[in-house]
A and B are shown apart, each in its own frame.
Chain A
Amino acid sequence: MDWLTTVDHKKIAILYLIAGGFFFGIGGIEALLIRVQLWKPMNTFVTAQQFNELITMHGTTMIFLGVMPIIFAIMNAVIPLQIGARDVAFPFLNSLGFWTFLFGGLLLNLSWFMGGAPDGGWTAYAPLSSTTYSTTHGVDFYTIGLQIAGLGTLIGGINFLATIITMRAPGMSFMRMPMFTWTTFVTSAMILFAFPAIAVGLVLLSFDRILGANFFNVAGGGNPVLWQHIFWIFGHPEVYILILPAFGIISEVVSTFSRKRLFGYSSMVFATILIAFLGFMVWAHHMFTTGMGPVANALFAIATMLIAVPTGIKIFNWLFTMWGGQITFNTASLFAIGFVPTFVMGGVTGVMLGSAPADYQFHDTYFVVAHFHYVIVGGLVLGLFSGLHYWWPKMFGRVLNETLGKIEFWTFIIGFHLTFFLQHFLGLVGMQRRVFTYLPNQGFDLMNMLSTVGAFLMGVGVILFLVNVVITARKPVGVENDPWGDGRTLEWAIPSPPPEYNFKQLPLVRGIDAYWKEKMAGHKEMTPAEPVGSIHMPSPTIIPFVMSVGLFIAGLGFMFTTDDFGNSFLNFLFNNYIVVIIGLGITFGSMIVHSLYDDAGWHIEPEEIDGKGAEA
């Protein structure tokens, strides 16, 4: 019950981590089923229809329900600590964001049990995603589930923007913020602009499917290419929404374990903002073969290639952060070091894809599959593993096992390269993506088999991580403030795990890498910026949970409004929008209750603080 009502950012972080991990597991199982089907030509392990459902759900789950929530978990756990805040700006909204994401995700996955998962690819191109060609409710689960889950992301993004703008500790100017806070800030800004696009697209597609609108229907005056533009105006920035936080994590980890400040901090900030800006300018490079004409193709090609420049700045800055440092090779640092070459490989193939005429050959082949897995798995997932190992002691007060961690790293990264490096060549020799099978002797057989072996190795790596988590959970809580010994940012100045209120007194920030600066000056802890006083805390509340349940019911009701259940009572309930009304009633009712009931929160008094210390 405590967990259903919490508004504490550290607990919400753990909720995000568990839920995100759960969906990541589902997405991973889907990936392995895909690889089993493709391990030999003309395999019949799954049917063509099941395969298309698997690829659609694998992509959708991994992006929206797997890695994004884990990013949010780390952001929630770390950002308030890094900027010296006691919580996020809107704790109630933080909880609401989590619950809408969870119920949206559950709704989407319910499709497996309710007559067919979405099957139009994670991009759901019209007209394939229209009711004419996708006859199950799969795509409805996709549009409505993602709509609800996307609401959570948008709420989270806005919350982080407000938190970072308004709640930095005294003395922490923007140019003194840790790099992970910077990338979270820029990512949140991108969420603010990109997610409304997909929200609109999903509404239009739901209207086409459920209410018979004609936005993407040619016969009714619509245009399917419109969907591609709307989708990619969101979809391309989404890639940077995913990768920028990883950049932030790597910056923190590389700097800590080289015992050096980040090389070229201001150019890193500049590069991050530039990447975000260019990220919005290049969506049409996903559409070079759609037929936009040579002028548009040329412009989008050049804009795309330009992203290599700020990304290159980052790569060299990381290398030169390590240059002259004293590098420690533990698990967190191995994952960060493994990230650099792997991501560079994903980056260079990105530039190759940006060259439009060459993309006519690469597009929709395994070359693309290899490229974006190098970016998303080789970049983001390695970054996430690095971040989890790095901040695990701060979140849970226990250090993950190092020996197991290193085995994890090597199995995962070897498996990864085995799986995806070969796929570049599969694409070049003519294998399209999203094919459930292929004829033998086309030069695909051996590479596909090895690719499947690699995928299972990656699976072993992930399982080892889970084993590590379980083993670590048995250890007693309570490592020191700064278990790595070289922590540079504010989160390492307070106990692990932090008390409910994070900082007894808000710290005074006197430069970049605030905590490191104090340590170098011979201090054990931060100089406080305020006297010890009573700390205001928000009250726990069940309302966000109830609101999300309401949306879940409404979504389910909306989907089945035109169905015949062969049961007059059910038909009555669904066809008259009664279920929708009940669901929305719950949601709006909760909002009214929340507005009318004035909750002033509660206070932790100074005498309690001294007694409590690290437990909470």
Chain B
Amino acid sequence: MMKRWKAGKRLVPLFVGLTFLLSACGREDLSALRPQGPVAQGQFDLMKLAITIMLSVLVIVFGIAAYVLIKFRRKPGDKEMPKQVEGNHLLEIIWTGIPLILVLVLAVATVQKVFAYGENYWEDKDAIRVKVTSHLFWWEFNYPDYDITTAQDLIIPTNKKIAFQLKTADVIHSFWVPSLGGKTDTNTEGTINTAWLEAEKEGVYLGKCAELCGPSHALMEFKVKAVSQESFDNWVAAIKQPVEPIQDPALAEVFKTQCLSCHAVGDQGGPMGPNLTGIGNRETVAGILINEEGSNKPFPGKPVKDNLIEWLTNPQEVKPGNHMPSPKEDLGLTDEEIEGIAEYLANVKLNY
């Protein structure tokens, strides 16, 4: 037994090294191994504990296996049958007992964290409340306390608990921001889930849908934008300002009849599609066409207007299976009208 402990001690530097290795993995705004908030941090700590325990198991098993395979090869001189052993109670008790202890260690940490992250902060006065509704294939964020509805970019203040209520408008999706915390499914009406997250630093964090939801499941991304409390307050004020309408009356009419029947811009329009207020300085168009402005992009973006034109010209090509009618084929918009609308939307910006 002593030997085992000594071997264990020698492994400690390995685990420390492993921590550094793991935490260098992936992008800061995306990887579960580079946590940016308390929830993700706690989950990462649990992962490290589990990996450490499991690596020690692997080292022991691999060690015994290597020893056995080298030592007990059949040699040409082996004519006699080896001694037949029925078993060994002491050994069997040891390898039942030790795993049991290891599992218990992990179980205690697990149960602790299960309850910590299962906490419901919806009624907490200091928390920011957000109702998340998932749609094929976009995300709607509603702040009931501020009477704000937005889409795709979730704006939150740093160092504040964000309490979520999550549901879906169609099939089951899963709300996941790896660098801030694990995922929660968005179920149908009647089985609404709650969750909470917190971001420690300002920044844009990549969010994804983690449950297969149809053709564009892979493209159902969103961004969480953590900003200072001051910027957040500015944003709340800015999003409520009336939006300047389109100058050209003909185009304004097209926009009103064809776009605003589903989408809302400022105080006008309908609630069916994503709310477009402030789309001019969002991180992306449609969640995946990355806009040029801003920092820390997965790959180089294009001007907002170009992305909007690309989207409006053929939405099915960008996101197969989405529910937006094709502006050209279904709604009869001309290229000029599309360009005009893109130009207009690109300038619908929020200052915060």
Interface residues of B in 52-90 (CB under 8 A from A): 54, 57-58, 61-62, 64-65, 68-69, 72-75, 78, 81-88
Write the nearest CB–CB distance from A96 to chain B, whole angstroms: 35
Would B190 and A48 count as touching, CB distance under 8 A? no
Among the stretches A436-444, A455-463, A527-535, the one at the interface with B is A436-444
Q: Which of A49, A258, A265 contacts B215 (CB 8 A)?
A: A49
| Chain B residues within an 8 Å CB radius of A121 | 212
Count of interface residues, chain A, beta-carbon cutoff 8 Å = 87
Is B88 a contact partner of A264 (Cβ separation < 8 A)?
yes
Q: A328-B74, A363-B183, A434-B217 are in contact. Are A356 and B110 (CB under 8 A)?
A: yes
Instruction: Give the nearest-CB partner of B320 in chain A.
Output: A48
**Cβ of B49 to closest chain A Cβ, rounded Å:** 9
Distance A495 CA – B344 CA, assembled complex (angstroms): 84
Q: Is the C-beta of A47 less than 8 angstroms from some C-beta in chain B?
A: yes
| A434-454 residues at the B interface, CB under 8 angstroms | 434-443
B54 interface neighbour in A352, A428, A440, Cβ under 8 Å: A352
* Interface mask (A304-333 → B, CB under 8 Å = 1, otherwise 0): 011011001101110110111111110000
Given contacts A120-B212, A337-B69, A356-B114, is CB(A309)–CB(B82) below 8 Å? Answer: no
Any A CB within 8 A of the CB of B308: no
Kindly list chain A residues whose C-beta atoms are within 8 Å of the C-beta of B87.
Answer: 263-267, 317
B115, CB-defined interface residue at 8 Å: yes
Contact yes or no, A430 B206, CB < 8 A: yes
Contact with B along A256-296 (1 / 0, CB 8 A): 00111101111100000000000000000000011101100
Chain B residue nearest in CB terms to A55 = B212
Known A127-B188, A360-B182: A429·B33 in contact at CB below 8 Å: yes
Residue A575 lies at the interface, judged by CB distance under 8 Å to chain B: no
Contact in complex: A261, B84 (CB < 8 Å): yes
Residues of B within 8 A of A312 (CB): 57, 95-96, 99
A302 contacts which chain B residues (CB < 8 A)?
107, 110-111
How many residues belonging to B are interface residues under a CB distance threshold of 8 Å?
96
B208 pairs with A341, CB closer than 8 A: no
Residues from 21 to 55 in A contacting B, C-beta threshold 8 Å: 47-49, 52
* Interface membership of B350, Cβ < 8 A: no
B32, CB-defined interface residue at 8 Å: yes
A86 CB to nearest chain B CB (Å): 30
Residues of B close to A325: CB separation below 8 A: 72, 82
Docked complex Cα distance between A133 and B219 (Å) = 17
A323/B72 contact (C-beta < 8 A), A127-B172, A291-B191 known: yes
> Which residue on chain B has the smallest CB distance to residue A440?
B299
- Chain A residues whose CB sits within 8 angstroms of the CB of B50 once the complex forms: 351-352, 355, 358
Which of B23-31, B150-158, B249-257 lies at the interface? B23-31
Are A358 and B46 also in contact (CB < 8 A) when A120-B212, A363-B182 are?
yes
**Chain A residue nearest in CB terms to B107:** A302
- A57 close to chain B: CB less than 8 A: no
Q: Known contacts A442-B27, A443-B31; is A52 also within 8 Å of B68 by CB?
A: no
Q: Which of B173-181, B230-238, B327-335 contacts A (4 or more CB under 8 A)?
A: B173-181
Q: Tell me which residues across on chain A come within 8 A of B64, comparing CB atoms.
A: 316, 319, 323
Whether the Cβ atoms of B61 and A341 lie closer than 8 Å is: yes
CA distance A23 to B301 in the complex (A): 44
A359 to B113, CA, bound (A): 11
In the complex, A131 has a CB within 8 A of chain B: no
Closest A-chain residue to B30, C-beta based?
A430
Of A176-184, A217-225, A393-401, A586-594, the one touching chain B: A217-225
Q: Which residues of chain A have C-beta atoms less than 8 A from B178's C-beta?
A: 361, 429-430
Complex CA gap A58/B9 in Å reads 45
Q: Are B218 and A324 in contact (CB under 8 A)?
A: no
Closest Cβ–Cβ distance, residue A107 to chain B (whole Å): 23
Closest Cβ–Cβ distance, residue B223 to chain A (whole Å): 12
Hey, which chain A residues are within 8 Å of B320, CB to CB?
47-49
B74 and A360 form a contact (CB under 8 A): no
A265, B107: Cβ atoms closer than 8 Å: no
Once the chains bind, are A309 and B103 in contact (CB under 8 Å)?
Answer: yes
CB A263 to nearest CB in B, in angstroms, measures 6
Q: Is the CB of B86 within 8 A of A261?
A: yes
**Residues in A neighbouring B51, C-beta threshold 8 A:** 352
Q: Which of A355, A360, A364 contacts B211 (CB 8 A)?
A: A364
Question: Does A106 sit within 8 A of B, measured CB to CB?
Answer: no
For B32, the chain A residues whose CB sits under 8 A away are 361, 428-430
Q: A582 within 8 Å of B by Cβ? A: no
Judge whether B171 and A218 touch: CB under 8 Å: no
Task: Give A442 to B290 CA distance when docked, in angstroms.
Answer: 13
Q: Let me know if A357 and B46 touch, CB within 8 A.
A: yes
Q: Is A428's CB under 8 angstroms from B190's CB? A: no
Contacts of A328 in B (CB 8 A): 74
Instruction: Let me know if A326 and B188 touch, CB within 8 A.
Output: no
In the complex, the answer to whether A428 meets B26 with C-beta atoms within 8 Å is yes
B213 contacts the other chain (Cβ, under 8 Å)? yes
Name the B residues within 8 Å of A294 (CB-CB): 114-115, 117-118
B216 (CB) vs chain A CBs: closest residue: A48
Q: For the complex, what is the distance from the CA of A504 to the CA of B58, rounded to whole Å?
A: 48
Name which residue of chain A comes closest to B84, CB basis. A261
B321 CB, nearest partner CB in chain A, Å: 7
Residues of B within 8 A of A317 (CB): 87, 92
Closest chain A residue to B181, Cβ basis:
A360
The reply to whether B184 and A316 form a contact with Cβ atoms under 8 Å apart is no
The yes or no answer to B1 lying at the interface (CB within 8 A) is no
Q: Which B residues lie within 8 Å of A442 (CB)?
A: 27, 30, 206, 298
Whether A320 pairs with B73 at a CB distance below 8 angstroms is no
Contacts of B65 in A (CB 8 A): 319, 337, 340-341
Residue from A127, A265, A301, A435 in contact with B170 in the complex, judged by beta carbons closer than 8 Å: A127
User: Does B2 interact with chain A (Cβ within 8 Å)?
Assistant: no
CB atoms of A289 and B183 under 8 A apart? yes
Selected contact of A443 from candidates B27, B54, B96, CB within 8 Å: B27
Is residue A204 contacting chain B, with contact meaning CB distance below 8 A?
no
Q: Are B43 and A361 in contact (CB under 8 A)?
A: yes
B30 touches A329 (CB 8 A): no
**Contact partners of A259 in chain B: CB under 8 A:** 74, 81-82
User: CA separation between A258 and B72, bound complex, in Å?
Assistant: 8
Of residues 94 to 143 in B, which have CB atoms within 8 Å of A's CB atoms?
95-96, 99-100, 102-103, 106-107, 109-111, 113-118, 136
In-complex Cβ contact of A260 among B57, B84, B117, B191 (8 A): B84
The residue on B at minimum CB distance from A326 is B74
CB-based contact A125/B170 at 8 Å: no
The answer to whether A261 touches B215 (Cβ under 8 A) is: no
**Smallest Cβ-Cβ distance to B218: which chain A residue:** A435
User: In the bound complex, how far is the Cα of B67 from the Cα of A324, in angstroms?
Assistant: 11
Whether the pair B84, A301 counts as a contact (CB closer than 8 A) is: no
Across the interface, A357 reaches (CB within 8 A) one of B91, B103, B110, namely B110
B196-226 at interface with A (beta carbon < 8 Å): 206, 208-219
Report Cα–Cα, A364/B186, bound state, in Å: 14
Closest beta carbon of chain A to B159's beta carbon, Å: 21
In the complex the two chains form, is B215's CB within 8 Å of A52's CB? Answer: yes
Instruction: From A294, A360, A432, name the one whose CB has the most chain B CB atoms within 10 angstroms.
Output: A360
Name 26 A/B residue pairs within 8 A (Cβ), A-sorted.
A48-B321, A218-B188, A218-B189, A224-B172, A289-B184, A291-B191, A294-B117, A298-B111, A298-B115, A305-B106, A317-B92, A320-B85, A325-B72, A326-B82, A337-B69, A357-B182, A360-B43, A361-B182, A361-B183, A428-B33, A429-B31, A430-B27, A430-B178, A441-B298, A442-B206, A443-B27
Q: What 9 pairs between A and B have smallest CB-CB spacing? A: A360-B182, A429-B26, A294-B118, A435-B218, A348-B54, A291-B193, A326-B74, A48-B215, A264-B87
Given known contacts A259-B81, A322-B72, what 13 new A-B pairs fall within 8 Å (CB)? A127-B171, A133-B214, A218-B189, A316-B95, A319-B61, A322-B69, A326-B72, A341-B65, A355-B46, A355-B110, A437-B218, A442-B206, A520-B81
